[in-house]
Amino acid sequence: MLDFPSGKSKKWECCSVGALAQRAITPVEDDRPDTSGLEPAGAADPTQDDQSKGFHKDLSLLPKPLSAADLLSTPNDGSRVRVAYQGLPGAYSEAAALKRYPKCETVPCDDFEAAFKAVELWLVDKAVLPIENSVGGSIHRNYDLLLRHRLHIVGEVQLQVNHCLLVLPGTRQEDLKRVLSHPQALAQCEMTLMKLGVIRVSAEDTAGAAQIVASNNLRDTGAVASSRAAEIYGLNILAEKIQDDDDNITRFLILAREPIIPGTDRPYKTSIVFTLEEGPGMLFKALAVFALRGINLTKIESRPQRKRPLRVVDDSNKGSAKYFDYLFYIDFEASMAEPRAQHALGHLQEFAGFLRVLGCYPSDGIQ
């Protein structure tokens, strides 16, 4: 392992296990004593003064920091959890939330930004948002939102996507002229829809498409959505698993206001974002800090910086060459509780202009 000077300034935003424990404080409605009934100084009764000195003397009444044991004792069914997601009831995002927290209260949001804000404003406990699909690729909007907001990734859910063709009861295949759904869902079912010879119409989300067909009594229109959406909106399933690729998997991230305490009792992933200065082999050096320590990378994504998308290379008055400044998002298989992960980020910080840990969380597999 490489040692680094302890006096070097730390620009990367990573909390140690101890710091995480201090931040994970159980919220209370008001941690300040009520002073509405107190008299001016000097006019108080001595007995009342004695009582005031005893305020919070019983330490057992104070809120306690969450520990690893507290996290393990939390019900796995999510019976006390409110989870935000983008879309309407029956969306795949809702299915991901219910897979992770079977008895949670799901809260639909109009868009991804609203789901982030719902967590920040304490309207919900967590948010579940898609980040990548095995067929459609990355969802860039949510990568940008991860950096804009200060939420923490506390888990992931991998969901098998099975698209169904939904219609009103009594509608036959030959009656269909149009099919509604999210653009990605339509693209993932392109071959099936081409065989049907229907017009493809984009909708905000898959469940929203099912709602439109049901609420408007569209006899000549179908929707590509989940089987759960068919149950919710009273539609029939004309065909199941109509996607072109059977191995259609969407990966979702679980976001919360506070990070979880990383451990080593199970496989963990860590997600980070960083920038690099321009120079030969800088990305190679960044990736090498993980390879040198036997850490496997599972995801790398680059996004142009919004605030500084272009950088001038020379100051020539005849025209300056320009190139993009990028943010690099990386997921790697290691827990921040492991020294090798801590040393890898310490090494990366030496030549990264900016480094932030987005979350350390247990890995999820397809079930």
Helix axes 140-148, 112-120, angle to 10 degrees: 30
**Distance between terminal CA atoms of the chain?**
37
CA distance 313 to 325: 11
**Which parts of 51-196 are beta strand (E)?**
82-86, 105-109, 126-133, 137-138, 152-160, 164-167, 178-181
Q: What is the CA radius of gyration of the chain?
A: 26
**Residues facing residue 35 across a β-bridge:** none
Assess contact for 84 and 127: CB atoms under 8 A.
yes
Longest pairwise C-alpha distance within the chain: 89
Using a 10 angstrom Cβ sphere, with 0-12 exposed, 13-18 middle and 19 or more buried, the burial of residue 301 is: middle
Catalytic residues: 250, 252
Domains and CATH numbers, the chain: 65-160+248-258 (3.40.190.10), 163-239 (3.40.190.10), 261-366 (3.30.70.260)
C-beta separation of 334 from 341 below 8 A: yes
Along the 367 residues of the chain, how does pLDDT read in single tens digits? Answer: 444 444 444 444 444 433 433 333 333 333 333 444 444 444 444 444 444 444 334 445 444 444 444 444 445 555 689 999 999 999 999 999 999 999 999 999 999 999 999 999 999 999 999 999 998 889 999 999 999 999 999 999 999 999 999 999 999 999 999 999 999 999 999 999 999 999 999 999 999 999 999 999 999 999 999 999 999 999 999 999 999 998 899 999 999 999 999 999 999 999 999 999 878 889 999 999 999 999 999 999 998 886 654 444 455 545 454 556 889 999 999 999 999 999 999 999 998 989 999 999 999 866 5
Report pLDDT for 280: 86
* φ/ψ (deg, to 5) at 319: 130, 125
- In angstroms, rounded to a whole number, what is the distance separating the alpha carbons of residues 142 and 148? 10
Which residues of 126-248 form beta strands (DSSP E)?
Answer: 126-133, 137-138, 152-160, 164-167, 178-181, 199-202, 221-225, 236-240
